[in-house]
Structure 1
């Protein structure tokens, strides 16, 4: 039995919305009528009713404005790959 769809539109923000998991979840939520904002390291234009917001999760740059008007945050981001994955002066334990 499928859960009943909510009649109320939610304003959601995603980390990792362009990644493997996010690319599966985001379209489903858009189809359900929710407003979706994706936080990304690289700017993108609007597409398919999705708002992309450039943000640096490690430093917090752009995070405050990215959360304006948002009701729910879904953190789906994994570790960076490629050139962004180079070790920095910060070490996480």
Structure 2
């Protein structure tokens, strides 16, 4: 998740590059290198957050899978108890008839 602070840092890099370019002290080659360094920084920034997002997505999928398994187990336990209660009731009714 990208926070407002991260976006501000990205804006600062852009403003620094624009400020350097506007001073006129740098050659075209140095300006191109500065822009490439800034782009590389943004790329690394994006890769980091993409990896963090991917990890969170995997965690979410695992949690959903565990929840589904727990719901299935709970449903099976409830069904087993209903069957057990039906058998117990049938035995009780049969004993009453005797």
Q: Comparing both chains, which one has the higher relative contact order based on Cα–Cα distances under 8 Å and sequence gaps of 6 or more?
A: 1
State the TM bucket, normalised to the shorter chain: under 0.3
**TM-score, normalised on structure 1?**
0.25
Higher strand proportion (structure 1 or 2): 1
Higher helix proportion (structure 1 or 2): 2
